[in-house]
């Protein structure tokens, strides 16, 4: 491994290299990325930073902390994709640094370096830091809330400071995404305590200090909102949270095991190492007590809380289980560290998992450009008419893009079958960095072409109308893209008309030209509307114009 004094700068350098380039190389994706960026844009446009809005109407689904971070970036870099994703890239580097520092404190700098490298070189943990979604910030705050409560238990002299920090970070997590942060923290604390039968565990004084710390942070926004605007917004916010847990959103009612599959495949290769870490007794391999071993049951408890909680929740979306990335990466690093020090053994199932899951992912990476180059041959087998039209987009593909997936699988095979027998440390570097490089290249070369199929034509149209004295609206489907890429002005009447806005655009006495976008498979609903005329159809989207004012 690298010398002790050089590891942290390398971690920071790797974060800068892999997280920041090409942040603005592809449009934001509907829904979440554009949704959050649009909320930040509307804060800047209206000057109202206390009330979260979408389409200039109250948006009670999320608190404002992440949007504040995006507005700061937009003030610096402008209202664009780079600014929308910049906060997460920063959080990515901070996360790598945090894992290194905590890992060094738990054991040594070698463990901290392995932990950071594991997180850098895993699929979805890596990709989320190049996105504009809330979860990376939310998850880091929850993890730190759990970690500092852990330190309060093992370092009684520092317990007051640790409890305050625990409340501080859970407060930030609540300000990022809502009360589910407190639920995850509380369930983790409860079930860990249950496991040890609450022996000398929780004291009322600690809970009061934690509660005060958490409340002071959340009051930055919640108290201000309640004081200035009354309880209406909170009633809607709480109602939404309850509905989210009890009623599946359209398209997101997945089977119970959904998140286990997502984490297994999405967290490759660290998910394979984490499974191995679950199979042996960590306390038995250490002759004396140490903080690293003591943290294992905390991370196992966190993992099961997140996975079971969001498996029970009826709405299942990929990033809901992303908090599990922290315990998964920790357990993966723990196994690798024990393996390096010959306290844990490698078995054939680890090799099988790496090669099989790695093979599936490599096949997908190679198949995407292959499909792009052979859309005409594939279209007859696709039943979704909108997807068929999407694939009519003109996108230039290159044969070498297929080799991103092929070469990645070749590296996995070489690392597993050759390097792990001869040079364990090189094996770790090779597997982690090859995954990061693979995702870096795929994101730079392939993802922009995928986006051209899925939403490119629509976003081109919205951008073409930007700055014009017109209305732009979508019909028959949910989207935030027209708001952000048309850059809908604050003076628009939609906030006043509410649900009647669409009918007014279609049939009312409008004062500006009106343009509509719908999807090919929804067009029949509007084809014979007396006030609409067809402009064009392109790649699954249908563009319409109001005939008269």
Structure tokens at 497: 């008309």
Predicted local distance difference test score (pLDDT) of residue 254: 74
CA distance 124 to 322: 8
Low-confidence winner among 110-114, 203-207, 394-398 (lowest mean pLDDT): 203-207
Please determine, for residue 252, whether its predicted confidence score (pLDDT) is greater than 60.
no
Please determine, for residue 175, whether its predicted confidence score (pLDDT) is greater than 70.
yes
Predicted local distance difference test score (pLDDT) of residue 549: 65
Q: First and final CA of the chain: distance in angstroms? A: 71
Mean pLDDT score across all residues of the chain: 90
Predicted local distance difference test score (pLDDT) of residue 133: 94
196 CB-near residues (< 8 Å, 6+ apart)? none
Please determine, for residue 250, whether its predicted confidence score (pLDDT) is greater than 50.
no
Q: If we measure between CA atoms, which residue out of 394, 435, 387, 373 comes closest to residue 125?
A: 435
Domain regions of the chain by residue span: 351-452, 465-546
Structure tokens at 82: 């780079």
480-489 tens-digit pLDDT: 999 999 999 9
CA distance 522 to 384: 12
Do the Cβ atoms of 201 and 193 come closer than 8 Å?
Answer: yes
Predicted local distance difference test score (pLDDT) of residue 248: 57
Low-confidence winner among 236-250, 359-373, 514-528 (lowest mean pLDDT): 236-250
C-alpha angle 434-436-438 in degrees, rounded to nearest 5? 65
75-108 tens-digit pLDDT: 999 999 999 999 999 999 999 999 999 999 999 9
Predicted local distance difference test score (pLDDT) of residue 349: 95
Predicted local distance difference test score (pLDDT) of residue 192: 92
Do the Cβ atoms of 277 and 335 come closer than 8 Å?
Answer: yes
Please determine, for residue 333, whether its predicted confidence score (pLDDT) is greater than 70.
yes
Tell me: cis bond preceding 31? Omega within 30 of 0 counts. yes
CA distance 206 to 163: 7
pLDDT band at 376 (very low <50, low <70, confident <90, very high): confident
504 CB-near residues (< 8 Å, 6+ apart)? 493, 497, 510
Please determine, for residue 200, whether its predicted confidence score (pLDDT) is greater than 90.
no
Beta-sheet strands, E only, within 47-182: 53-54, 57-58
Predicted local distance difference test score (pLDDT) of residue 243: 65
pLDDT band at 398 (very low <50, low <70, confident <90, very high): very high
C-alpha angle 19-22-27 in degrees, rounded to nearest 5? 115
154-164 tens-digit pLDDT: 888 888 999 99
pLDDT band at 380 (very low <50, low <70, confident <90, very high): confident
pLDDT band at 369 (very low <50, low <70, confident <90, very high): very high
Q: Give mean pLDDT, residues 261-274.
A: 96
Share of the chain above pLDDT 90, in %: 71
Predicted local distance difference test score (pLDDT) of residue 375: 87
Q: If we measure between CA atoms, which residue out of 503, 502, 513 comes closest to residue 545?
A: 513
Determine whether 471 is exposed, middle or buried from the number of CB atoms within 10 Å of its CB (0-12, 13-18, 19+): buried
Ramachandran bin of 178, using left for φ above 0, alpha for ψ from -120 to 50, beta for the remaining angles:
left
What Cα–Cα distance (Å) separates residue 48 from each residue in 42, 225, 438? 8, 12, 41
CA atoms within 13 A of residue 506's CA, in its CB half-sphere: 15
Q: If we measure between CA atoms, which residue out of 528, 529, 497, 532 comes closest to residue 514?
A: 532
Q: Positive or negative CA dihedral for 50, 51, 55, 57? A: negative
- 137 pairs with which residues across the strands? none
Share of the chain above pLDDT 70, in %: 93
C-alpha angle 137-191-97 in degrees, rounded to nearest 5? 30
Low-confidence winner among 10-19, 316-325, 394-403 (lowest mean pLDDT): 316-325
- Phi and psi angles of residue 536, each rounded to the nearest 5 degrees, phi first: -170, 165
Q: Is the pTM of this model over 0.75?
A: yes
pLDDT band at 327 (very low <50, low <70, confident <90, very high): very high
CA distance 226 to 237: 12
Predicted local distance difference test score (pLDDT) of residue 511: 87
CB atoms within 10 A of CB 227: 9
Q: Give mean pLDDT, residues 284-311.
A: 90
CA distance 74 to 190: 40
Do the Cβ atoms of 44 and 79 come closer than 8 Å?
Answer: yes
Tell me: cis bond preceding 404? Omega within 30 of 0 counts. no
Q: If we measure between CA atoms, which residue out of 318, 172, 171, 178 comes closest to residue 236?
A: 178
Low-confidence winner among 89-93, 378-382, 514-518 (lowest mean pLDDT): 378-382
530-542 tens-digit pLDDT: 999 999 999 999 9
DSSP letters along 238-252, please?
HHHHHHHHHSPPTT-
Please determine, for residue 458, whether its predicted confidence score (pLDDT) is greater than 60.
yes
Q: If we measure between CA atoms, which residue out of 296, 295, 300, 282 comes closest to residue 341?
A: 282
């Amino acid at each position: 491994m690298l010398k002790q004094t050089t590891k942290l700068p390398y971690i920071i350098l790797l974060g800068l290299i892999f997280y920041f380039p090409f942040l603005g190389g592809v449009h934001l994706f509907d829904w979440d990325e554009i949704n959050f960026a649009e909320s930040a844009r509307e804060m800047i446009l209206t000057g109202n930073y206390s009330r979260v809005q979408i389409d200039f109407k109250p948006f009670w689904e999320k608190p404002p902390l992440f949007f504040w971070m995006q507005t700061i970036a937009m003030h610096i870099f402008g209202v664009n994709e780079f600014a929308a994703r910049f906060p997460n890239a920063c959080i990515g580097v901070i996360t790598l640094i945090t894992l290194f520092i905590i890992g060094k404190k738990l054991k040594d700098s070698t463990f901290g370096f392995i932990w950071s490298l594991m997180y850098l070189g895993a699929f979805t943990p890596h990709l989320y830091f190049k996105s504009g979604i809330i979860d990376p910030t939310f998850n880091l705050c929850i993890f730190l809330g759990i970690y500092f409560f852990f330190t309060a238990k093992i370092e009684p002299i520092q317990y007051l400071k640790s409890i305050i920090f625990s409340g501080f970070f859970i407060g930030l997590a609540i300000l990022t995404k809502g009360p589910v942060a407190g639920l995850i923290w509380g369930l983790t604390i409860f079930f860990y305590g249950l496991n040890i039968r609450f022996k000398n565990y929780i004291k009322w004084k600690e809970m009061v200090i934690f509660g005060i710390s958490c409340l002071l942070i959340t009051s930055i926004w919640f108290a201000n909102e309640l004081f200035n605007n009354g309880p209406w917004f909170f009633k809607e916010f709480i109602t939404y949270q309850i509905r989210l847990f009890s009623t599946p959103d359209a398209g997101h009612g997945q089977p119970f095991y959904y998140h286990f599959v997502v984490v297994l495949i999405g967290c490759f290769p660290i998910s394979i190492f984490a499974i191995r870490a679950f199979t042996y007794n960590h306390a038995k391999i250490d002759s004396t007590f140490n903080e690293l071993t003591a943290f294992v049951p905390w991370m196992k408890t966190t993992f099961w809380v997140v996975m079971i909680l969001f498996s029970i929740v009826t709405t299942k979306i990929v990033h809901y289980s992303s908090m599990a990335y922290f315990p998964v990466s920790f357990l993966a690093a723990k196994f690798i560290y024990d393996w390096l020090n010959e306290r844990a053994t490698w078995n054939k199932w680890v090799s099988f998992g790496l090669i099989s899951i790695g093979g599936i992912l490599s096949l997908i990476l190679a198949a995407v450009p292959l499909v792009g180059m052979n859309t005409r041959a594939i279209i007859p087998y696709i039943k979704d008419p909108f997807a068929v039209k999407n694939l009519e987009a003109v996108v230039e593909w290159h044969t070498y893009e297929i080799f991103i997936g092929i070469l990645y699988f070749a590296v996995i095979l070489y690392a597993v079958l050759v390097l792990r027998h001869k040079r364990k440390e090189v094996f770790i570097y090779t597997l982690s960095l090859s995954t990061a490089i693979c995702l870096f290249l795929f994101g730079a070369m392939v993802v922009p072409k995928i986006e051209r199929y899925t939403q490119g034509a629509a976003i081109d149209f919205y951008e073409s109308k930007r700055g014009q004295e017109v209305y732009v609206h979508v019909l028959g489907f949910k989207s935030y893209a027209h708001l952000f890429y048309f850059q809908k002005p604050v003076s628009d009447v939609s906030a006043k008309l509410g649900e009647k806005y669409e009918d007014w655009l279609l049939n009312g006495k409008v004062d500006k030209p009106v343009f509509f976008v719908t999807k090919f498979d929804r067009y029949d609903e509007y084809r014979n509307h007396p006030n609409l005329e067809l402009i064009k159809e392109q790649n699954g989207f249908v563009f319409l114009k109001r005939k008269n004012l």
